Chain A
C-alpha cells in the first residue's frame, strides 16, 4: 500500500496568515492527489483534486501543487472558517490511502 505522510500533524496560525501543509507519498503517484477539509462532527469536504484543480465552490485562497511524491496545500489568507483538519488522499492505486491529517488551530 502507498503510505501518505502529512506534516505538520498540527499547526497554529492566525486569521490572515498563509499556511502550507505538506503530504508525501511513499511512491510516485504522479498527480493523483486530493485534499479534504473536515470540521468536527461533519463529513469531509473535497477541496482540491488532481493535485491543483479547485473543486467548484471552494475559495481561491486554497491552492495545491506538487507531483510525484511531494505535494502541498496552501491557504493564502486564513479565514475563521478555515480552522479544521485537513487530509490528503492518493487516488493513484488501490487501496486509496489518506494521510493522517493536519489539525489547523487558531493561535
Chain B
C-alpha cells in the first residue's frame, strides 16, 4: 500500500532553515508528483507547492518563492522540502502528499505530518 513517512519534529530559531523528508513506498516514486501542504496550529490548510520526482520540475506558491526548495532523491524514493529564513509564523505541521494520478492532480495519500516549531 502507498505509504509516506516523514521525518521527526523540529525546533528552529528564527532565521534558520529546516529540511523535512518524506520517504515513499508502495508505488513507483517517479510516477507521481509530491505536494507539500502546511497547517499552522488551529488553522486551515495551505498549499506550498509540488515536485515531479521524475523530472525534478517544481511549482511553488508565490508566497514561498525564494524561501522554499523542493527536491527528490529517486535512488531512495524520498522527497525533501527545505524552508529558509524561518519566522515564527512558519510554525506549523508540514505534510507531504502524493498526488492522485500524476501531473499535479490533487493530493491523495498523505504523510503523517512533521511539526516545525520556530521559536527564539
Contacts and interface: CB of A to CB of B under 8 A. Distances in A.
Interface string B49-74: 10000000001111100000000000
| Secondary structure dominating the interface of B | strand
Interface in B62-120: 62-63, 95, 97, 100, 104-108, 110-113
In order of increasing CB-CB distance, the 7 nearest A-B pairs are: A43-B110, A95-B61, A34-B106, A96-B47, A98-B45, A101-B44, A91-B106
Interface of A: 1, 34, 36, 38, 43-46, 49, 55, 87, 89, 91, 94-101
Range, interface on chain B: 20 to 34
Question: Looking at A36, A44, A45, A96, which has the most chain B CB atoms within 10 Å of its CB?
Answer: A96
B31 interface: no
A91 B105 contact: yes
